[in-house]
Structure 1
Amino acid sequence: MIEFKSSYTQASVWAHTPAYSLDYYQNQSNIAVQWQVSPIWKTELDYRVVTAKDNGLDSFVMGFHDLFGIGQNGRDEVAEDQFTMDFHNAGVHVSDFEGDELTNALTFYNELLLFSRGPMSLSAGGSLFYNSVRSGQFARTSFEQGVQLNYSYITPRHSFFSTIGLVHRNSDGRLVSDERLTLENVSASWAVGYEYRWNQRHSFVLESLNYQGWSTNDPDFSEPSNEVVVGYRYRLYRLALEALMIENIRNMDNSTDIGFTLGLRFSI
């Protein structure tokens, strides 16, 4: 079986600490193809582009935070629709980068089924990630290698999954060169998720995504980032549509503040 996947995400990035300030917006376009080569082996090729774009999320995000009693973390004290990055310790200020490409990446992933019995399965995967932004203020090249272990428990109405992984990073440079900000070469991530199917077509999705801090000595970026995903999925034969919301929780200064995704899947 071959599955084609595509998604589009609009997100807001906001962080404000004594060491740095981030205030900008980004849109991500993604397309992927997954091939079930054999009963125990599947492979996937994924391409994504992230661009700095004004997606008008400021007012919506503040209203959403007010509705659910989530603090604004200073967002309501600055002008809306800005594109700024300030790294105070390094003396770096970047602004007016709307339209710049932030990421241009290709990911190759392979997964091998290790164990399967009834609704349970255990698999291991490996990925190669290559990012190359050729021009602009964020021009850089990076290469990552990842491994992960996946567990799932799937019934007609309830689906549960979990995954844990490690990523090793190589990069030819970064936006801010500051010896006081030391980056991790290896970091871990883990996730758990649940899907409840009302019937054959409609289902509810809830996920928790967690990432180890990528800096060894920054108070915020050395802390884990935690994101919650809530969504709806609609299935019709070999077609699936989904709408997701991603919200950063706990530490508000080390990952995307909020994002909204529309996705499409089609299998043949």
Structure 2
Amino acid sequence: MKPIKISLLIAFIPGLVQAVNWSDGPLMVRSQAPVKSLVLSPMFRPAYYQPGGPQVDAAFYAASIYAIDTDYVMDYYTIEYRLGMLWSPSQRWQFGWSIASRTTNDAHLDQLTLSFHKLFGIDQNGRDQVPKHRSYLSIPKADFEVADFSGESIGRQYELSIGRSLYNRHRHNLSTTVVLAYEDDDNPRSGGGWDGSVQLDYQYAWGDSVAYLMGAMAYTDGDTLFGFELETSSWHWGLGFRHQLAPRHQLLLEYNAADGILHNLGQFKSSVHEINAGYRYHYRQLALEGVIIENFKYPDNSADVALVAKLRYQF
């Protein structure tokens, strides 16, 4: 009788225990919204810490900004290069840092956007009436207008993070993370360059799937952007899902929302809504990720479209 019970237990355990790879976790991609990308914007972070050597990553973001309103015209690209590291010395602690450089280099996304809108019958909103790949920003009531600024720097960000696991049992994991960031003087905002955030991340794992939640409060020391006052604090929240298709392949879907932080400027006072759809391939010490970020609800207040490629390596 005992061998039968042991066999049943062995067969039952895989349904209860979620196998953990070093590359498991959320996508950890930053908002590419016109305003939120210029301050510290919280993202999903791991709720479960897998102890081991440091993980290093290199990410490339390409975003198309297109917003047309009576109060503004925004039509330009942004490029972000980011290097980072995460290290979990134990299941209780996780430390991280990253450095990012942002420019307005040409990302060549206009034709992709035009074709996508045409394929699905989405209104072009004047995209087909203006030159492709232009760099133009106009806010008449702030007496602000600039053109042909492709290739200019829009700042570097330096970031440190400390995370602590609060609960880790069976299918449930909960962690908290404190982040401190500094924006250098190339950032077009005025005022102080320091930002910070505190957040909670929760995940629930079952079988080959994981659902996760994020809630955060972010603070900025900046005063104004484009001549308009910045809200000093903002709430961020999100819901995500990850599914293991095969031993090396994962699909991820994330929804992120945040308070608007720019007063008296059209949709930029409203909340930001973004959807991240990603694919992850991992093999031994290497993980490759591709992500598309799409705007939702208030299209002017987020990138028209953004593409992300990320390479991660576990030492």
TM-score (norm 1): 0.92
1:266 is matched with which residue? Answer: 313
Q: Which amino acid aligns with 1:35?
A: W
Q: 1 or 2, which has the higher strand percentage?
A: 1
1:42-81 equivalences in 2 (<5 Å): 42-81=94-133
SS of residue paired to 2:188 = coil
Please report how far the alpha carbon of residue 121 of structure 1 lies from its aligned counterpart in structure 2 after TM superposition: 0.5
- Once the two structures are superposed, the pairs formed by residues 146-165 of structure 1 within 5 Å of their partners are 146-165=197-216
The residue type equivalent to 1:176 in the other structure is: F
Structure 1, unpaired ranges of 5+? none
SS at match of 1:73: coil
Is the Cα–Cα contact under 8 Å of residues 150 and 162 in structure 1 kept in the other structure? yes
Structure number with the higher helix fraction is 2
How far apart, CA to CA, are the structure 2 residues paired with 1:150 and 1:175?
30
Give the Å deviation of 1:175: 4.9
In structure 2, what is the equivalent of residue 19 of structure 1?
71
Distance in 2 between residues matched to 1:126 and 1:139, nearest whole Å: 23
Q: Give deviations 1:20-67, integer Å, cap 9, x for gaps.
A: 111001111111011103220101001111110112110111111222
SS at match of 2:128: helix
Choose from 164, 188, 208 the match for 1:138.
188
CA contact (8 A) 2:189 2:226 kept: no
Q: Which has the larger radius of gyration?
A: 2
Alignment of 1:217-232 (within 5 A): 217-232=264-279
SS, match of residue 246 in structure 2: coil
Change (3 A) 1:119 1:69: farther
Secondary structure of 1:37's aligned partner = coil
Cα root mean square deviation, aligned: 1.7
Q: 1:156, CA displacement in angstroms? A: 4.8
Matched, 1:176 2:223: no
1:107 paired with 2:156, answer no
1:73–1:252 contact (8 Å) kept in structure 2: no
- What is the CA distance between 1:215 and its match in structure 2? 2.1
In 2, Cα distance between the equivalents of 1:162 and 1:233? 19
The match for 1:212 is 259
Taking the TM superposition and a 5 Å limit, the aligned residue runs for 1:29-44 are 29-44=81-96
Q: Aligned letter for 2:308?
A: T
Contact 2:101 2:156 in 1 (8 A): yes
1:68-92 CA-partner distances (Å, limit 9, x unpaired): 3333232222111111110111111
Q: Deviations over 1:215-265 (max 9, x none)?
A: 233331111111111121101012110111111111111121101111111
Give 1:214 deviation, angstroms: 0.7
Counting matched residue pairs gives 262
Deviates more, 1:187-196 or 1:73-82: 73-82
What is the DSSP-based 3-state SS (H/G/I as helix, E as strand, rest coil) of the residue aligned with 1:253?
helix
Identity of aligned residues (%): 28
**Aligned AA for 1:24?**
Y
- TM-score if structure 2 supplies the norm length? 0.79
Q: Which runs of 5+ in 2 are unaligned?
A: 1-51
Aligned equivalents of 1:73, 1:28: Cα separation in 2: 26
Query: Alignment partner of 2:131: what SS?
Result: coil
Counterpart amino acid of residue 159 in structure 1? V
Instruction: Report the Cα offset of residue 182 of structure 1.
Output: 3.1
- Whichever residue aligns with residue 178 of structure 2, its letter is G
